[in-house]
Amino acid sequence: MNSYKGEFTLDNLVFNANVKEFTHQISDIYGLSNQGTISQKEAYTQIQVLFEALKRSKQELRIGENS
């Protein structure tokens, strides 16, 4: 089990969970692409969508902003 790093806040915890889910989904997409189930172009498109969602999550949670 990985330990949590950084200042503990609810927003940081939520973002940490989002990052973990992002990496899990990327791993799944990578596997599907390597198996030929989806094309590399489709994998890239899906990863772009996931990354934009992660960026949006970071902005909405105001991660990294000095308050």
pLDDT tens profile 46-66 = 999 999 999 999 999 999 886
Q: Counting beta carbons within 10 angstroms of the beta carbon of residue 15, is it exposed (0 to 12), middle (13 to 18) or buried (19 or more)?
A: buried
Least trusted range by pLDDT, from 6-15, 22-31, 32-41: 6-15
CA angle 30, 48, 5 (to 5 degrees): 80
Tell me the pTM: 0.84
Beta carbons within 8 Å of 26's beta carbon, 6+ residues apart: 47, 50
What average pLDDT score do residues 31-49 get?
Answer: 98
Which of these, 1, 48, 53, 20, lies nearest to 12 by C-alpha position?
20
